[in-house]
Structure 1
Amino acid sequence: MDENQIRSLIAEVKHGTLSRRSFIRTMAAVGITAPVAGQILAWNDVAMADATLAYKPAKAGGGGPLKILIWQAPTLLNPHFALGTKDQVASRIFFEPLAGWDKEGNLIACLAAEVPTKANGGLSADGMSVIWKLKQGVTWHDGKPFTADDVVFTWSYAADLATAAYTTGSYKDIIVEKIDDHAVKVIFKNPTPFWADPFVGPVGQILPKHHFGDYAGAKSRDAPGNLKPVGTGPYKFVEFKPGDLLKAERNPDYHVKNQPHFDTIELKGGGDAVSAARAVLQTGEYDYAWNLLVEDEVLKRMETGGKGRVEFTPAGGIEFIILNTTDPWTEVDGERSNAKTKHPTLSDPAVRRALNLLIDREAIQKFIYGRGGIATASFVNQPSQFKSSKLKYAFNVDKANQILEEAGWKMGADGIREKDGNKLKYVFQTSTNAPRQKTQAIIKQACQKAGIEIELKSVVASVFFSSDAGNPDTYTKFYCDMEMYNATQPQPDPERFLNQCVSWEIANKDNKWLGRNVSRWSDPEADKAYKDAQKELDPVKRAALLIKVDETFCEANIFLPLLSRNIVGGVVNGLMADISGWDVTTWNLGAWYRS
């Protein structure tokens, strides 16, 4: 399909003779992904859709209770401290961004009156600024009006390094100005091709100034709103028991007509993924089960119970392993895995390369994840124009042994390779979950054949994914040699996702381990490519720069990608849930209903 044909189709969408959905499907047929097709329409000033789920209830309320199981239980309700997906899911019930991402990668207005375009004056031609017009008549759950002051405050709150928000990277390099009570202007330091990051999606949720104004900076962790939120969302806070139970009730003053459908929300945490799946698919006790990290064969058997179904949503998540090139066993400046230190064995590129060859990705996909994931060697896999065609994976124990032997790592009498008094012995940690423990076991078995001893460690998910600065077992502390988890790409563009590869985002004691770069490894070339991508307006050149960042970390075997993950959820029969692979599960919770 040539440029003239694409422009002709765009014209049809503008005149209403071709639907947006048909346009996106036509683009997909010629290899252009849905998010890119959506961006093409946005760039050509084609209006965005108002919603992605055909909402049928004619009035708000009357739907009774909605019961959700989230086995990685949330521990806090401030979205700017919500380092783990579980806390983002819970926070999003109450707080809202200016816009969110639907399942096709379209930007959908929420607290904004409309999505900015060049035609409506929202996007500057030079890429230096964005004007957001705010929805009027919106109130906080306590009755106070939502205004531009709240948006400006959220920017200053998140941008303040003393706040130690995990969202700081999205706000620290911009300026936000109030135009009037219902409009703000975001000003960038450089031309910014991907402007839909601040105030959008999981990182974009707006905080009420009148509740958090006295708790910015160093006082941020003391705010009552961290555990008792007052937001603008479809449900109002009732009760929260961290690590266990969250209750909410319908917001009668919600700003979307006829929403929400359900009268109450119960978000139950704890347990495990298998029991969560069973409670929806077999017993129907709950309506939705989040993040079903369960072997696919087990899910298929449960679906025969007839009470519910498993839904797989394409997404940008990646199940992967990080290798630690710092020393996790020596404390420097009050922290282990300090970026100033060097790992005695994993700092050797040959060892990291060998470990990458000892991962049987095909077996992990076939026997564990099935429909839930696809084996990959790339950290970024969606949308396809950002995926490296260069990165390949292989499982080869003989090659791994050869590499280690040539690098001087000799097999000891105990069957463990060593050099200069250092043995290839590692602690490999992940969250407690059956598929992950089975994946660990597969990797451990292969490593034994190459003279590498692996000690397996599993940490309860509520601890592993928490932002507790005092707990040594969180994944951001990385107090071990290697660890595995799923990183969620929060938007169709991978720029923000890849900030975990830059030097200025290294997790450490000073930022309360909320820095996005958990690996602590950095490369000047990756830093430069990332910075160049942030201001490159040519989409092809920009994609190449972001691919370079990905390739730098994967070729150095700091990141060992395993599977490109789909979102796997259990849905009870009759529930209509709007799930997006580019936003959190609860991004459009107000539109859920029971048919």
Structure 2
Amino acid sequence: MAMVLAVAACSDPTQNDDTDSAGDEGTDGAAEDTTLNAYLYQPPAANWSPMAPANGPDGVVMNLIYDSLLGVNPDYELYPRLATDLPEISEDGLTITYTLQEGLTWSDGEPFTAEDVVFTYNLMANPDTGSTASARFVDVVGGPEVTAGTADTVSGFTAPDEHTFQIQLTKPNVGIVGLTQNIWIVPQHVLADVPLDEMDTTEFFTQSPTVGLGPYTFVEYQTDQYIHLVKNPAFREGEVDIDEIFLRPVTSDVATAQLGTGEMDLAQIAPPDLETVEALDGIEVGSGPGAGYIRTSVNEKKPYLQDVRLRQAMMYAIDRQGLIDEAMAGEAQRVNGSFMNEALPDDLEAYDYDPDRARELLAEMGWDPEQVVELSWIPGQRDRDTAATIVEAQLNEVGIKLVLNQVQPGELTDMMNAQSYDMTLYGGGNYATEPFSVYPINGCATWFPDGANLTFWCNEEFDALMLEANSTVDEAARYELFQQAARIENAEVPMIYLYNPNTIWAYTDRLTGFEPIGDQTNPFWNVQEWSLDG
């Protein structure tokens, strides 16, 4: 491994020559190392700490150099990674037990045990480490004490033996499995002596996270040029096939051009570029639905936005399928609520495009056609910019005087803090893996800034169903409760649901085993199954 690292670090990956072709035979008859060049959609913040605030480009790197107890597949289903199976939840819902794979080692040869998991989860639960996730552990025994600074470790995280990790809860919280499944486990033997308040600035996370459990190990980051990774021979599923990966933060236009020249092997592309990329020789295209969606919040603290009939009228007034065809080249799906997969009932109101129905609802409620409603959003993403103009035109057509307001991120934050906005256009989230993740955007107790509820909608029946579902161990009963909550949300339309965008991937036909996923931060979810042919 030391030899591989030394050779890789000394090579100049930015230079192309005739000896660098993947899969070619050298003069001694041995196959050359295979190198994959992959697009990184933004430069990383270069803080590869699981405790740091979520940042997509850094997440791509961490998905390669670290590993987690569970993973998420392209269907957004949980599957075991470091664990042998999905966790066992006790009948009373108070104990969650993970059984870990045996015989695993860190990339430096040290054994991996349950103590590493306990160590990592304690870091995640402690805000002194820079963790932004401590609130997830409020129902874990001892979690609130660590958050308050009256305890150093969470007593509810234990390792009964070296292959078992347990979480003890003060009350049932089934959703904690889905909300914490992707915590990247870090090495206790490397980090145990780092003071907690220095953990987020330690060199290991900010410069050289070279010890991990992932399929690749970190070599170097050349700022704004590339991140260089080499395969980890100690990976749990055996040595991966592709020897090294260069993640290159370039613009999407450059990535598209480099696909055509052969300089880029894998890239995420924008829908407007799809036709161009599909015409390239030797390039395959695949896509997967995202786990979140694009929507506009409606600020119900404004008296003129409180009537549910107004929000229903907006849904009928917008030709969402036409928007998808125009802004997303068809690479998206209409949504009629926040819930996905099994939590989504099949009897929701579809809000098909019906401007006449929209006008009827507005007349019924006595809507003032002179009332101005402002839609604020951060410009720069082509699909959202197009969506904003379409929404403006179609709401004006039915008698809602919508005006557009382009703002910068700081301006929007100020408007959110002041609760001065009428509507905002935004997207994101993962509501496909764990349905309880819908609660923070809709709950009565999660109004911004205490939570992510930007609409200030509140329905006590919805809340009760969500909280009951989160404490229900029986899966069928749990999803029935989520579906009941979904019907309430769909009927009251706290936000205007637009579309769930696909993530589109383009890749060289020399790459086999690649399976597209809608999560743009985890294209390498099954990289151990990939091969790169000459």
TM-score (norm 2): 0.77
CA contact (8 A) 2:95 2:168 kept: yes
Q: Does 1:441 align with 2:408?
A: no
Q: Distance in 1 between matches of 2:263 and 2:296?
A: 35
When the two structures are aligned, how many residues end up with a matched partner? 479
Partner in structure 2 of residue 324 of structure 1: 299
Partner in structure 2 of residue 343 of structure 1: 302
- Residues 491 and 561 of structure 1: is their aligned pair in 2 closer, same or farther, counting only changes over 3 Å? closer
Q: Distance in 1 between matches of 2:35 and 2:264?
A: 10
Partner in structure 2 of residue 453 of structure 1: 402
Q: Distance in 2 between matches of 1:97 and 1:213?
A: 22
- Residues 303 and 85 of structure 1: is their aligned pair in 2 closer, same or farther, counting only changes over 3 Å? same
- Higher mean C-alpha deviation, range 472-481 or range 373-382: 472-481
Where do residues 570-589 of structure 1 align in structure 2 (5 Å cutoff)? 570-576=506-512, 577-581=514-518, 584-589=522-527
Where do residues 286-301 of structure 1 align in structure 2 (5 Å cutoff)? 286-290=264-268, 292-295=269-272, 298-301=273-276
SS in 1 for 2:430: coil
2:161 paired residue among 167, 177, 180: 180
- Residues 221 and 556 of structure 1: is their aligned pair in 2 closer, same or farther, counting only changes over 3 Å? farther
The residue type paired with residue 347 of structure 2 is S
Partner in structure 1 of residue 24 of structure 2: none
Where do residues 34-433 of structure 1 align in structure 2 (5 Å cutoff)? 63-75=33-45, 76-104=47-75, 107-112=78-83, 114-116=84-86, 122-141=88-107, 144-160=110-126, 165-174=131-140, 175-191=156-172, 196-197=177-178, 199-201=180-182, 204-209=183-188, 210-211=190-191, 214=194, 216=196, 221-228=200-207, 229-230=209-210, 231-240=212-221, 244-272=224-252, 275-280=254-259, 282-290=260-268, 292-295=269-272, 298-314=273-289, 316-325=291-300, 342-343=301-302, 345-383=304-342, 386-404=344-362, 406-411=364-369, 417-418=370-371, 424-430=372-378, 432-433=380-381
2:500 paired residue among 561, 564, 589: 564
The residue type paired with residue 531 of structure 1 is L
SS in 2 for 1:173: coil
Deviation per residue, 1:21-51 (Å, 9 max, x gap): xxxxxxxxxxxxxxxxxxxxxxxxxxxxxxx
Cα displacement (A) at 1:585: 2.3
Partner in structure 2 of residue 336 of structure 1: none
- Residues 266 and 522 of structure 1: is their aligned pair in 2 closer, same or farther, counting only changes over 3 Å? farther
Cα displacement (A) at 1:533: 0.3
CA contact (8 A) 1:215 1:221 kept: no
- Residues 391 and 72 of structure 1: is their aligned pair in 2 closer, same or farther, counting only changes over 3 Å? farther
Cα displacement (A) at 1:167: 3.7
Deviation per residue, 1:469-505 (Å, 9 max, x gap): xx55569968854333443436544233544333455
CA contact (8 A) 1:358 1:446 kept: yes
- Residues 388 and 171 of structure 1: is their aligned pair in 2 closer, same or farther, counting only changes over 3 Å? farther
Q: Distance in 2 between matches of 1:285 and 1:482?
A: 42
The residue type paired with residue 304 of structure 1 is A
Q: Distance in 1 between matches of 2:501 and 2:388?
A: 17
Q: Distance in 2 between matches of 1:446 and 1:544?
A: 36
CA contact (8 A) 2:214 2:232 kept: no
Deviation per residue, 1:273-299 (Å, 9 max, x gap): x5534433x333211113x3313xx41
The residue type paired with residue 586 of structure 1 is F
CA contact (8 A) 1:554 1:560 kept: no
TM-score (norm 1): 0.70
SS in 2 for 1:438: helix
Partner in structure 1 of residue 478 of structure 2: 542
- Residues 432 and 142 of structure 1: is their aligned pair in 2 closer, same or farther, counting only changes over 3 Å? farther
- How high is the sequence identity, in percent, across the aligned residues? 21
Cα displacement (A) at 1:221: 4.7
Cα displacement (A) at 1:107: 4.1
SS in 2 for 1:108: strand
- Higher mean C-alpha deviation, range 365-374 or range 90-99: 365-374
The residue type paired with residue 324 of structure 1 is N
Deviation per residue, 1:221-264 (Å, 9 max, x gap): 5444553335321222233467x455132144432354333333
Deviation per residue, 1:155-213 (Å, 9 max, x gap): 22323356674544543323321212332112234455567426523xx2223344387
- Residues 245 and 91 of structure 1: is their aligned pair in 2 closer, same or farther, counting only changes over 3 Å? farther
Cα displacement (A) at 1:311: 0.5
- Residues 308 and 130 of structure 1: is their aligned pair in 2 closer, same or farther, counting only changes over 3 Å? same
- Higher mean C-alpha deviation, range 572-581 or range 435-444: 572-581
- Residues 248 and 502 of structure 1: is their aligned pair in 2 closer, same or farther, counting only changes over 3 Å? farther
Partner in structure 1 of residue 443 of structure 2: 502
Name stretches of at least 5 consecutive residues in structure 2 with no aligned partner. Answer: 1-30, 141-155
Q: Distance in 2 between matches of 1:526 and 1:144?
A: 48
The residue type paired with residue 70 of structure 2 is A
Partner in structure 2 of residue 56 of structure 1: none
CA contact (8 A) 2:70 2:86 kept: no
- Residues 198 and 448 of structure 1: is their aligned pair in 2 closer, same or farther, counting only changes over 3 Å? closer
SS in 2 for 1:496: helix
